Structures are given as structure tokens and as C-alpha cells.
């Protein structure tokens, strides 16, 4: 830990040295919530978000906050090791072409629904047994076409060369529009019923809450869990397509698949109490737990092992973290310089126009600094250097 702030209702434990003013204001809001448990943990990739900043961990007792999870419920990472020790550029380009044929990017969906057995709970039978799935039931048919799609923003597929000597595949994606709809539905509900709840939270915090044991809280937790399963299955289906393409082009095999979330809430035991841990842009890092901390486009990523530090609620960073907003990056970064930086490294990249500069590596924090700032939370196991990137 780098420093601790004790000026608010509960302490703020920080693993970040420099922090954006607006993110700091959001952190202080968290620390002054009447139901915040013990302390707030802030990771080195922290930057502003909706209500709660990205890269923060909040613990509560019997309270859940939709915007402390965020609108991309279940966003997370997959990493997969191949049996390849090298891959040439022509093969990489063939793989990228095949991936683009199988996986819709950005706002695109599949033209036909995917197999219902790939949906959470193997289809829609759950809706006839349980009336608590309000949003996911209404969005089900749309979600069937979103399953196996990447999405936009900072979601990506990368081919990487690792320090273990092998080629790896890494993928970052979430629950698509389904998670967005669930988050906003329950955030709106939380605001509407706030006057009837026991704790007062200023509206400008944008951290409206639900009691976890209330009808509304139970419904949110069920639909949030549904989105987690959907996001996990979404990554798994994309990985199936990617493996198929890799096998056709290179005839390789695969091992050591890792599939994790970094936007969710879970009931866990910490400091002897059962509390709801909200991780928004943060990864579970229990002792010896394997995690993934990706870099930005053009910088290394890491497979890490958790150290189970109780002060971070056994968590770590989820990535490099932004140092520029998307608009700031598009306005201030030089397209030629950002392209040249990637091309000098021999990376097949996705920076084509000024519109893409929001995902340039210069818009993100230094990944090595992020890793170094949490050496009491994780132990780096494998470092991966990007060879090719597909961005949503």
C-alpha cells in the first residue's frame, strides 16, 4: 500500500500514487457512505467512472449498489495458452481474418440467434420457474444474438508472445447490452425508492442503493448473477471461435484457460464478517488465485498470482487504467506518432484514424508502474508482449 487517508468516515487505503481530482472526489464519496464497511481500497489503475471510480473496492453490510458494479456487469478477461512457440505474420493475418468472420465487433450482433443451451441456466426455462428475472427475460431474444460478440470501447482480442516461450490468446469483453440494461434498470429503481430506505445518500453521489434482503435487492443480485454467467459464456463462445480459427491456420492445441470477471458484487467473508464486496474494475486476488492484468494496446499484459492481502479485500487491479478521457485522447494524441510506436514494435494494431486514439497506449497509465504499485497484492507469473490486436 502506498498511502492511507483518514480524513473521511472510513479510511481510504490506496495503491495509487497519482489520482485524478474527479476520481478522488468519487473515492471520498465512497468513504462517506453511511454503510461503507471498514475501509475503501483503491487500486493503481483507478480513474473516474459513473458514481464509483474504476479500480475501486467497496464493502457493505446488507447493501448493494448497482453503479458500484457498473453498466458492464461481468466484464472480464480470458487468457489461453497455445502449444505454439512462434507464429509468423502471414499466419497472424490469416487468424485475424478468420476471427473477424466469426466474431461481430462493436455494436454488431450475430444475424441469427445462438444456441439457447449456451445461455445461462441452459435456456429460458428459468423464467417460467422464477419471476425475479425482469430485465433478462425481456432482453433474452436480443441477448441470444449478442452471445459470442466482442463489443466496443476497450474490449479486445490479442495474440501475444509470453515469457514462458509460448503464444497466448487474450480476450476482454463483458455482458454487452444485457448488463447495461440490468444496471440502469436497478439504478433507476434504487433512486425511485431511496426515500423509503434507512440510509440517506446524497443524490449527486450517483450511488443509489438497494437493501440486499429486499425484493428489489434480491432481484438485482439474481439478474447481476445472470449477467455474470452470460458474460462468462460470451467469452467462452468467442474463445471457441478463436480456437477453431487458430487450429485451422496453425494446427496447434490449447491449455491453461483462465476466465475471470472484474465488474461484480459478491458476498464474501472479510475480517470475520460476511459483506458484499463490490469490485468495479478490480480482480479477485485470493492467495494463489490466478488472475489477468492486461496492458493497453501495444504494452505488455500479465498473468498474476494473488497474495490474499486482506487490506485490499483480497483484490488487485484489473488493467492499466486510463490517464486520459476518450475525448482528451482523441484531441491531444498524434495519430502518426501512436501508429509509429506500434509499428516499430512490429504489432499489427487497430489505430487507423483519430477516432481510434482513445485506445492508444498513451491514453493509459504505464502498466509496469501499475504492477509495481501492487507488489503486496500479486506476484507476476507470466509477462506477455502483444503481436496483434483486434479492438471492438
Placement of cell 480513474 in the chain? 47
**Main-chain phi, psi angles of 386, to 5 degrees:** -70, 140
Start-to-end C-alpha separation, the chain: 34
Contact 356, 269 (CB under 8 A): no
Contact 328, 353 (CB under 8 A): no
**Three cell numbers written together for 273:** 464478517
| DSSP strands (E only) in 249-377 | 254-261, 263-270, 273-280, 282-284, 290-293, 301-306, 315-317
| Given the residues 47, 155, 262, 318, the one annotated as active site | 318
Helices (H) and strands (E) counted in the chain, each on its own, are 10, 17
The answer to whether residue 261 is catalytic is: no
Residues 6 or more apart in contact with residue 221 via CB below 8 angstroms: 64, 212, 265
Any long-range contacts for 302-305 (C-beta under 8 Å, 24+ apart)? Answer: 302/367, 302/371, 302/380, 302/381, 302/382, 302/383, 302/384, 303/79, 303/162, 303/258, 303/380, 303/381, 303/382, 303/384, 304/371, 304/378, 304/379, 304/380, 304/381, 305/378, 305/379, 305/381
Positions annotated as catalytic residues are 318
Amino acid at each position: 500500500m502506498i498511502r492511507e487517508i483518514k480524513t473521511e468516515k472510513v479510511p481510504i487505503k490506496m495503491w495509487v500514487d497519482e489520482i485524478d481530482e474527479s476520481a478522488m472526489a468519487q473515492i471520498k464519496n465512497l468513504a462517506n457512505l453511511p454503510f461503507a464497511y471498514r475501509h475503501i481500497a483503491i487500486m493503481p489503475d483507478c480513474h473516474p467512472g459513473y458514481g464509483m471510480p474504476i479500480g475501486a473496492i467497496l464493502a457493505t453490510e446488507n447493501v448493494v449498489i448497482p453503479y458500484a458494479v457498473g453498466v458492464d456487469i461481468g466484464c472480464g478477461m480470458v487468457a489461453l495458452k497455445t502449444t505454439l512457440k512462434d507464429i509468423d505474420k502471414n499466419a497472424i493475418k490469416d487468424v485475424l481474418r478468420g476471427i473477424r468472420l466469426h466474431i461481430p465487433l462493436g455494436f454488431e450482433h450475430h444475424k441469427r440467434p445462438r444456441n439457447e443451451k449456451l445461455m445461462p441456466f441452459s435456456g429460458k426455462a428459468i423464467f417460467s420457474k422464477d419471476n425475479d428475472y425482469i430485465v433478462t427475460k425481456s432482453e433474452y431474444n436480443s441477448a441470444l444474438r449478442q452471445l459470442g460478440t466482442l463489443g466496443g470501447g476497450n474490449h479486445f482480442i490479442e495474440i501475444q508472445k509470453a515469457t514462458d516461450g509460448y503464444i497466448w490468446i487474450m480476450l476482454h469483453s463483458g455482458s454487452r447490452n444485457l448488463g447495461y440494461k440490468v444496471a440502469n434498470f436497478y439504478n433507476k429503481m434504487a433512486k425511485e425508492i431511496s426515500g423509503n430506505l434507512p440510509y440517506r445518500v446524497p443524490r449527486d453521489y450517483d450511488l443509489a442503493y438497494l437493501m440486499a434482503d429486499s425484493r428489489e435487492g434480491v432481484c438485482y443480485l439474481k439478474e447481476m448473477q445472470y449477467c455474470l454467467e452470460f458474460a462468462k459464456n460470451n467469452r467462452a463462445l468467442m474463445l471457441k471461435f478463436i480456437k477453431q480459427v487458430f487450429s485451422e491456420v496453425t494446427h496447434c492445441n490449447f491449455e491453461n484457460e483462465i476466465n475471470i470477471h472484474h465488474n461484480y458484487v459478491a458476498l464474501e467473508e472479510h475480517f470475520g464478517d460476511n459483506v458484499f464486496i463490490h469490485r468495479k474494475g478490480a480482480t479477485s486476488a485470493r492467495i494463489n488465485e490466478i488472475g489477468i492484468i492486461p496492458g493497453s494496446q501495444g504494452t505488455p499484459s500479465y498473468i498474476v498470482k494473488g497474495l490474499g492481502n486482506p487490506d485490499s479485500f483480497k483484490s488487485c487491479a484489473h488493467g492499466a487504467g486510463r490517464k486520459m478521457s476518450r475525448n482528451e485522447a482523441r484531441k491531444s494524441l498524434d495519430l502518426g506518432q501512436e501508429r509509429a510506436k506500434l509499428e516499430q514494435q512490429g504489432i499489427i494494431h487497430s489505430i487507423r484514424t483519430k477516432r481510434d486514439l482513445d485506445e492508444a497506449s498513451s491514453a493509459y497509465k504505464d502498466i509496469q508502474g501499475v504492477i509495481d504499485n501492487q507488489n503486496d497484492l500479486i506476484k507476476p507469473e507470466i509477462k506477455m508482449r502483444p503481436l496483434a490486436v483486434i479492438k471492438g
